[in-house]
Every structure is written in structure tokens, then in C-alpha cells.
Structure 1
């Protein structure tokens, strides 16, 4: 799924402002009505040679998952040669949590994405 396609899927989400920045970045600005804060999530696609190496390392390791979450397909993870990267300022984790789950859900539905939380070193 391209970032342009992802932006189209997210276009109907309330409180999200979407902007494609060149071909390789999607900037998602979130407005949290509870806190009154705006926060940015940057979505990019990485296809560098290190992606396949890191995916193979993850597939060979402990596939720790959240309770109730099935473990990822080890073979599919081992074959991964591209990844979506979502970045945000940690101070805005509360504001970005729900929108990131919406983004993850779109990616899972569209292309079977495997979601790995690098911050907590676990699959979600």
C-alpha cells in the first residue's frame, strides 16, 4: 500500500489532517479534543537492505505478543523487505495512540502488515 493510498483510506477520520510530503512521507496531524494538543505522526516506507536483515532477526527471535494477540507469521516476517515506520514525539503518546491504531488497522487490512512496537520490543 502506497502512502497515497493510506492517506485516501484515512481521509474520512475525524481529527486527522493528512499531508503527503514528497513521495516518501505522510504527515498525520492529530487534534486531541481532550487535551487540546496537536501532535504529528510521520509515516514512511523503508525498503533499505537492512530491513530484510532486521525482519529475519525478529523472525528468528522470541515473538512476544500482547495478551490475546496471535503471534505473527514467522515465515511472512522473514520474507519482509519493506516496512512502514511511524514516528512521533513521545510526550504526545496519549494523543497519538488511537490514531496509530487506526493507521495500523488500515495497514493490516490492506496488506497483512505485522505490527512491531520497537519502543516496547513487542508485537501488537
Structure 2
């Protein structure tokens, strides 16, 4: 486990804060450097959970809805019965992808990104 970190903040496209410090390793043998690659997970999970809760509150979604009801292409490779609840509680076996997915696809080709995600095979049996 690392005992260091970094943060950068941009304002109107300009870097205004760039801080790093601490240790990369538990033994405190390696200092955190400006170019140390941090590990982060679920950076968008909180925002996604709020949006989903808002849609559920407005009766536009139900946690018991099968994702394939709203996104038919998703129903591949044993995913046809995965519910929204199973998905958002990380029990769908879809915590990552088997192939690299460039973040640029979000802007450059969201359809291709959707195709990749729809074709993704669960990493473990859904529901576990």
C-alpha cells in the first residue's frame, strides 16, 4: 500500500495546482515523484450512483430492471439477466474489460465504446 499521493487541478485549461509527496511503497524506500503513476478505482462511481438514484426516484428506472431491457445489445455472454442492482453493487462480473479500452473513446467514438462494453464477457459468474 502506498503512503503517498498526488493531485493536480486545472482551471480553464491551465494547470494551477500540481502537488505530490510521500512514499510509493510501504517500506518507504521509494519517494513519490512527479511522474509516479497513481492507482485509482471507481473515480466516477459516486456521480453515477447519484444519477441512477435520481432516475429511480423519478420512476424512470428500477434497481430490479434488467439492463438488457434498456440496452438490448448488453444481453450477450450470459448477461441477459443482470439487473441494475447487480451491476452497481459490483456483482455482475464487469469490474473491468478483457481488452484495453482507451478513455478517448468516450469522446471520439462512444458507439465503439458501447459495442466493446456490450460484448464484454463477465470476469466471473454474475451474482457472485
TM-score, with structure 1 as normaliser:
0.27
**Higher normalized strand content (fraction of residues):** 1
Q: Which is greater in Rg?
A: 2
**Higher normalized helix content (fraction of residues):** 1
Higher relative contact order (CA 8 A, sep 6+): 1
